[in-house]
Structure 1
Amino acid sequence: MQFLCLKLFQFFLCFTISLPFLACIVAAIINPPKNITIPAVIVFGDSIVDAGNNNNLQTIAKCNFYPYGIDFMGGKPTGRFSDGKVPSDLLAEELGIKAVLPAYLDPSLQDQDLLTGVNFASGASGYDPLTSKIASALSLTDQLELFREYITKLKKIAGDEKSSEILKESLIVLITGSNDITNTYFLTPFRQPHYDVPSYTELQVSYASSFVQDLFELGARRIGVFSLPPIGCLPFQRTLRGGFQRKCADEYNQVAQSFNEKLSHEMTSLNKRFPDAQLVYVDIYNPTLDIVNNPQKYGFKIADKGCCGTGFFEVGFLCKFACANVSEYVFWDSFHPTEKTYRLLVHQFLEQYLKSFI
């Protein structure tokens, strides 16, 4: 009974997870190469990029309350799992498209917003459909159905030809997978009896591949699929599995690396099958690990705990108060980075990978 209670406690703390990524505080907007036009950014994934799609869902994977959003425009909690903007916003901002990328399910969404991109991500989701089912979040299948609905609306606004052009030239981003491993595989009893770690990561990659192919069929051509970050270095995983010294949990990082290698190979294979598309595997593992291991190099002081609460385990509804100086922290809560960290990673991503979408 004690073990079961611990697992349930871990699950409710853990399942809003999604993982670290993206960007440097920059004064200038990234200028795309002259021969590349990006009219819109369209994002799918989990809480790393959720901009509020979960706000009206019957799920505890929400953060539309203080202190989330304390550094967002006007100090407003919007359902973004951070103190401020998340990677989806920062991509649109740095590309000079718009200041934030709105959630598709935002009741205030306007028709004009559709022309420059929207966000379908849902906190606590994953590649594995079971992950989203457990958390009552939007699965990738759900997100794809919303994308189909979006395309129908886009055609009514812009016409068939213009809509096809927007889809073809938009930057499409997929960021998910961490919840599958940390929650569905390790914290629940549903998958381990049927899959060992290698076969489960292969299952994840198969879902990722199918999703990318579905996007292609719907007209997307510039698709960036992000790797998993070093999930063992999240503050909560340090607390749970890092021992007395709260070191990074090597087991989790090894699983992430195994998944990343398989995902990279699959993206290479898909590129050969679809030569008229730019399907880009994006390594976020190593840039994030460098920030975590060398925080002072990037202007941080604390990388082993979050700004929220004690910083050891708080996330979502457990996040009741914030630290005095968010800018000193790599992580906002025990799972999600601060806007400052995201800016570093997003900027680095655009500098390294933008030309790959030509």
Structure 2
Amino acid sequence: MLLPVVNVILFCVYATVCLCRGQGTINLPKSSSVPAVLAFGDSFLDTGNNNYITTLGKANFLPYGKDFMGGKPTGRFSNGKNIADFFGVKEYLPAYLDPSLQVNDLLTGVSFASGGSGYDPLTNNISLAISPLDQLNLFKQYIGNLTTMVGEEAVMNIMNNSVFIVCVSTNDLIISLPARSLQDDVLTYDRMLVNLTLSFVQQLYELGARRIGVFSAPPVGCFPAERTLFGGVLRKCVQKENEASQLYNSMLKEQLPLLGSSLPQSKIAFVDFYNPLISVINNPQQYGLDVIDRGCCGTGLLEVVFLCNRLSPTCLDDSKFFFWDSIHLTEIGCNIFVNQTLPGLVNSLL
């Protein structure tokens, strides 16, 4: 019983993941072939939507954002840019709920993601995040607004040629799987998550998306907070949690192509979010990093969201840390991941 209770309590201290570095910044091609990038998911891709909803999962205060545009906290769960920014076709990907959005922002892409979101309804009940289904409703609103501004033909071009990225599942595996462990085993739960993932992708397709990259689950057992809580005295990666991620990933990787083959004119890609992170964690020096088992903020053991605040000391050089807080990656970490992933995604979708 301890694992479900502690994980649910822990969620009240943090909202899920955001990961983000590497050898120079890579973005999707800035060309007419990719007019926009549209992001759906959790705090890996949330660029500030949670600022405008009632939830504990916020990051719109320092030291979050200390390296973003002159030290401006924007709601990104990082010291700077996050994954959504590096996947975009412009310098950064704005949040859809940002009231200062301009027409050009809508034309070139926004993020609908919400820190704490999950496929499992229980996850969103706990986190008070914008659920994936509610993100689809925001997307419908986006399509309507854009159609009014630029017309149906321009909107059809955006839908057909833009890249859609989807990153959910992590909160489900950290929060809801333990909470449901009395009624569901890991296989049953992961199978349910895969079905919910496929359903979401199909609904996105029905709304006009054609190029869709679907993230797998990351190695959640290696997040610093999970190491601290469940990794023993040595704070090792929590194998059971990583195995749950791997099982979900293997089933999703098998099922996504089958779904894609049933959706005419679609290109649906599996984005490996697990092995690139494990590679960094196992070989940090190869990527110019020194610290992979704790965050830069505070002690790096548990500080996240409101525990990582103006009173929290930060490490001297966050470019040497993979994690910014005890859950989310630094901007450097995000860039490393995207540098490993983007070339394959481009080949799959473009």
How does the TM-score come out when normalised to structure 1? 0.92
The aligned counterpart of 1:10 is: 10
The CA deviation string for residues 277-319 of structure 1, in whole angstroms up to 9 with x for no partner, is 0010111211110001111110000000000111001110000
Match of 1:72 among 47, 68, 74: 68
Q: Is the 8 A contact 1:53 1:105 kept in 2?
A: yes
CA distance in 2, matches of 1:140, 1:183: 16
Residues paired across the two proteins, number: 347
CA distance in 2, matches of 1:254, 1:19: 20
Structure 1 gap segments, 5+ residues each: none
Q: Is the 8 A contact 1:19 1:231 kept in 2?
A: no
Q: Is the 8 A contact 1:168 1:221 kept in 2?
A: yes
CA distance in 2, matches of 1:202, 1:3: 21
Q: CA RMSD in A?
A: 2.0
Match of 1:317 among 293, 306, 309: 306
CA distance in 2, matches of 1:38, 1:4: 42
Match of 1:354 among 338, 346, 349: 346
The aligned counterpart of 1:149 is: 141
CA distance in 2, matches of 1:58, 1:317: 14
Identify if the C-alpha distance between structure 1 residues 47 and 2 changes in structure 2 by more than 3 Å, giving closer, same or farther. closer
Identify if the C-alpha distance between structure 1 residues 349 and 27 changes in structure 2 by more than 3 Å, giving closer, same or farther. closer
Q: Is the 8 A contact 1:125 1:132 kept in 2?
A: yes
CA distance in 1, matches of 2:5, 2:196: 31
The aligned counterpart of 2:155 is: 163
The aligned counterpart of 1:327 is: 319
Please state how far the C-alpha of 1:176 moved relative to its aligned partner.
Answer: 1.2
Identify if the C-alpha distance between structure 1 residues 37 and 131 changes in structure 2 by more than 3 Å, giving closer, same or farther. same
Please state how far the C-alpha of 1:28 moved relative to its aligned partner.
Answer: 6.6
Give the % identical residues. Answer: 45
- Select between 318-327 and 293-302 the one with higher mean Cα deviation: 318-327
CA distance in 2, matches of 1:46, 1:83: 17
How does the TM-score come out when normalised to structure 2? 0.94
The aligned counterpart of 1:47 is: 43
Structure 2 gap segments, 5+ residues each: none
Counterpart residue identity of residue 69, structure 2: M
CA distance in 1, matches of 2:217, 2:236: 19
Match of 2:127 among 135, 150, 156: 135
Q: Is the 8 A contact 1:133 1:139 kept in 2?
A: no
Please state how far the C-alpha of 1:204 moved relative to its aligned partner.
Answer: 0.8
CA distance in 2, matches of 1:98, 1:356: 21
CA distance in 2, matches of 1:248, 1:280: 28
Q: Secondary structure at the match of 2:214?
A: strand
CA distance in 2, matches of 1:183, 1:333: 18
Please state how far the C-alpha of 1:5 moved relative to its aligned partner.
Answer: 7.7
Identify if the C-alpha distance between structure 1 residues 222 and 2 changes in structure 2 by more than 3 Å, giving closer, same or farther. closer
